[in-house]
Amino acid sequence: MRKLDRLVTIRDVAAAAGVSVGTASKALNDRGTLRAETRQRVRDAADRLGFEANAVARTLKVGRTYTVGMITTDSIGRFSIPLMLGAEDALGAGQMSVLLCDARDDPIREQYYLRTLLTRRVDGIVVTGRRAQARPPLAPDLPVPVVYAFVSSTDPADCSVVPDEAGGAAKAIEHLQAIGRRRIVHVTGPEHHSSAQVRASAAVPALVRPPLFGEWSEAWGRQAGAMLLNEEFDAVFAGSDQIARGVVDTLRSAGRRVPEDVAVIGFDNWDVMVTASQPPLSSVDMDLDGLGRAAANLLLAAINGEPAPGRHVRPCRLVLRESTAIAGAVRLG
Amino acid sequence: MRKLDRLVTIRDVAAAAGVSVGTASKALNDRGTLRAETRQRVRDAADRLGFEANAVARTLKVGRTYTVGMITTDSIGRFSIPLMLGAEDALGAGQMSVLLCDARDDPIREQYYLRTLLTRRVDGIVVTGRRAQARPPLAPDLPVPVVYAFVSSTDPADCSVVPDEAGGAAKAIEHLQAIGRRRIVHVTGPEHHSSAQVRASAAVPALVRPPLFGEWSEAWGRQAGAMLLNEEFDAVFAGSDQIARGVVDTLRSAGRRVPEDVAVIGFDNWDVMVTASQPPLSSVDMDLDGLGRAAANLLLAAINGEPAPGRHVRPCRLVLRESTAIAGAVRLG
DNA sequence: CGTGGCGGTGTGAGCGTTAACATTCGGAAA
DNA sequence: TTTCCGAATGTTAACGCTCACACCGCCACG
């Protein structure tokens, strides 16, 4: 009796327990008034038959899928992952499942996925990923709430949650100043990239020379380091950990000591870079995991009828390591 | 008329087109025999009303969800991502959507997700992630096919698809020998990790000294490099790109030239490491993307009633860069 | 002129579940 | 004894869609 050719339904359970489907439903969902003995009998039958309620049928009846779509605009990369995980975690706690869609920055793919998600009647959508600039809204007048995480929508009425990159940069600068550095330089990514711009703008009042814009790579960090060698400076604020590492490598092989001669702070707090660098890098952490979690919670709230439109800015955290550890200074992490 | 308080259903479309629901269904799905004019009229009505077929209802009727679950056993990391993307891509081409589950190597979470997926009536499940060893099956007697990607199941009857790590290691060794190196050393990850073991075993016949087991980190690479400095060798096969980079850094700062004095090959072909290293690293590529894609296709086949049980081994590719580029030798990618 | 066949369309059951409503039955109150 | 109430359970109509089948003309053929 254990094995059927089809999956076991609530009717099978009801029959096995000698009750009607309605009663079985009540017993399994703790609704209505039932004798404790009956309830138990139904549950035993369900266990015995290996019954798993069909979420599809339930969905059709009650109108909610308890599923959200997650569209990543850039190809899923180093930034999307913590975001996704944070979001997935927060959503899972809310009994939500996540449909994964990798749109690869291709508008056609994105629209295709959007239709798929709507067809599947997701309760909401979170859009994540890195972008050089804010992105246009997914589509106008969607029947479900949408939250943008890390990327922000160009429509200020959309709900976006983003890190306070300017604030993070400011923290980095302040720390460098706090350990006595006055001649700070900034080397970062491409000027057309809004992250590079925002971080640079926050840093510029404290800089001893104009920011060096380039790429987000270690190679560029090395190159910039070499360019700086005949200038006078005692601190580098880098736009990314990779850049920072490149800079550090060049400086050290040119005989400069880090942090004694030059203190260095990176950005992203990417474990691989930050710990492998010699010395380990102080860095600005955007708390992408928390960002994903926050986005998920905003989405859950919106689904429950309490939308929070607008740009939500979350603080960055400065993580200190040896690359800014001067004698007597605090050292963390 | 455009906006209803509820989503527009096929009845609305049928009514608007002046036909019955059955006819509307046929028109929208290209079934049965219909007058071209009728078909068009229905479609126009559907477009006009913004109709999106309810996949949930269809699923309930036809019994297939066109959804698969993807469970990552380790927390989603550097290895899972290309796997996931490859799988997602291949599945998407088969009209399948992917439910993402991050089990974080926690059996409780894994079972929870498994139940969720079964409840949602997924058509199949792919299990991905890195593991020190083969993992036990998800559960016995699942009603849907399961494919393990990268990890393999301890049950040989399960369908797993894994990279030919031994073959990859052999390729690395052969290449080193082909460029004339005879005194090869191997430094790799922890001995209890099956990847380290397998790769080392394949390399050991060609080695000039026993493999150095340690960690999967750059720091260990540096440490091992230092340990090797007073030995005689002309090539290093590293168990990972991070280790390789650590080794290279140490060797170079000790005055050894790479590749002239010592040729170095890494493993994983992780872009960030491989290109940032100086010189860029030759490396063994496990083609994780292809692995994910293959896993997805095996799953699709199994769903369509053509299971391919057993361990499927896929070849690795050697990617050559400057760290093994001796004068006159071929240089790629 | 009757009949069969076929193109075109409508009808209705059913997928598995839930929830509103109906029914039954025992016991307490009148 | 009748009546009524409430606890316990049964019945059934949805949810939106598809598919097998029924139906209805019309034309061709015998």
- Residue B125 CA, nucleotide D1 C1', distance (Å): 67
Token couple for B53? 């077929």
The residues near B195 (Cβ < 8 Å, ≥ 6 apart) are B132, B165, B189, B239
B20 touches strand C (CB under 7 A): yes
Nucleotide with the nearest C1' to B60 CA: C15
What tens-digit pLDDT sequence spans chain A (333 residues)? Answer: 444 568 899 999 999 999 999 999 999 999 888 899 999 999 999 999 999 999 999 999 999 999 999 999 876 678 888 898 899 999 988 899 999 999 988 999 999 999 999 999 999 999 998 888 899 999 998 999 999 999 999 999 999 999 999 999 999 999 999 999 999 999 999 999 999 999 999 999 999 999 999 999 999 999 999 999 999 999 999 999 999 999 999 999 999 999 999 999 999 999 999 999 999 999 999 999 999 999 999 999 999 999 999 999 999 999 999 999 975 444 443
C-alpha–C-alpha distance, residues B299 and B69, integer Å: 11
Residue B3 has pLDDT above 90, yes or no: no
Nucleotide with the nearest C1' to B32 CA: C8
Establish if A81 touches chain B: CB-CB under 8 angstroms. yes
Query: Shortest CB distance from A102 goes to which of B85, B99, B272?
Result: B85
Residue B2 has pLDDT above 50, yes or no: no
Token couple for A184? 């700070």
Establish if A118 touches chain B: CB-CB under 8 angstroms. yes
Are A119 and B218 an interchain contact pair (Cβ–Cβ within 8 Å)? no
Query: Shortest CB distance from B56 goes to which of A77, A121, A242?
Result: A121
CB under 8 A, 24+ apart: contacts of B222-229: B222/B246, B222/B247, B222/B249, B222/B250, B224/B187, B225/B187, B225/B249, B225/B250, B225/B251, B225/B254, B226/B250, B226/B254, B228/B185, B228/B187, B229/B254
Q: Is omega for the bond preceding A82 within 30 degrees of 0, making it cis?
A: no
Nearest-neighbour CA in chain A from B182: distance (Å): 30
Establish if A194 touches chain B: CB-CB under 8 angstroms. no
- Residue B77 CA, nucleotide C20 C1', distance (Å): 49
Q: How many CB atoms lie within 10 A of CB B167?
A: 16
The H or E element containing residue A297 is helix A288-303
Using CB atoms within 10 Å of the CB of residue B330, give its burial: 0 to 12 exposed, 13 to 18 middle, 19+ buried. exposed
What one-character DSSP code corresponds to residue A75?
P
Specify the pLDDT at position B327.
56
Establish if B98 touches chain A: CB-CB under 8 angstroms. yes
Global confidence as pTM: 0.92
Nucleotide with the nearest C1' to A22 CA: D10
Query: Shortest CB distance from B99 goes to which of A57, A97, A118?
Result: A97
Smallest CA-to-CA distance from A97 within B77, B76, B137, B97 is with B97
Nucleotides of D under 7 A from a protein CB: 7-12, 14-21
Q: How confident is the model at residue B333 (pLDDT cuts 50, 70, 90)?
A: very low
Q: How confident is the model at residue B330 (pLDDT cuts 50, 70, 90)?
A: very low
Residues B158-172: what's their mean pLDDT? 97
- Residue A97 CA, nucleotide C16 C1', distance (Å): 20
**Residues 51-90, chain A: which have Cβ under 7 A from strand C?**
51, 53-54, 57-58, 60-62
B54 touches strand C (CB under 7 A): no
Specify the pLDDT at position A73.
81
Specify the pLDDT at position B81.
86
- Residue B48 CA, nucleotide D11 C1', distance (Å): 40
Residues B57-71: what's their mean pLDDT? 94
Are A242 and B70 an interchain contact pair (Cβ–Cβ within 8 Å)? no
Residues B67-81: what's their mean pLDDT? 84
Smallest CA-to-CA distance from B187 within B172, B177, B171 is with B172
The H or E element containing residue B315 is none
Q: Is A132 in a helix, a strand, or coil?
A: coil
Strands B67-72 and A317-319: unpaired
Nearest-neighbour CA in chain A from B205: distance (Å): 31
pLDDT tens-digit readout, B176-194: 999 999 999 999 999 999 9
Strands A317-319 and A282-285: antiparallel
C-alpha–C-alpha distance, residues B291 and B311, integer Å: 12
Specify the pLDDT at position A6.
82
Using CB atoms within 10 Å of the CB of residue A7, give its burial: 0 to 12 exposed, 13 to 18 middle, 19+ buried. middle
Specify the pLDDT at position B237.
98
**What is the distance between the terminal CA atoms of chain B, rounded to a whole angstrom?**
59
Instruction: Work out the percent of chain B whose per-residue pLDDT is above 70.
Output: 96
Nearest-neighbour CA in chain A from B224: distance (Å): 15
Chain A residues close to B120, C-beta within 8 Å: 55-56, 67, 97
Q: Which of residues 134-193 of B touch A (CB under 8 A)?
A: 143
C-alpha–C-alpha distance, residues B40 and B46, integer Å: 10
Specify the pLDDT at position A4.
54
Average model confidence (pLDDT) for chain B? Answer: 93
Q: Is A313 in a helix, a strand, or coil?
A: strand
**Residues 48-77, chain B: which have Cβ under 7 A from strand D?**
51, 53-54, 57-58, 60-62
The H or E element containing residue A293 is helix A288-303
Query: Do A173 and A303 meet the contact criterion of CB atoms below 8 Å apart?
Result: no
Smallest CA-to-CA distance from A54 within B204, B115, B322 is with B115
The H or E element containing residue B187 is strand B184-188
Residue spans of alpha helices (H) in chain B: 10-17, 21-29, 36-49, 55-62, 80-93, 107-119, 165-178, 194-203, 218-228, 241-253, 271-276, 288-303
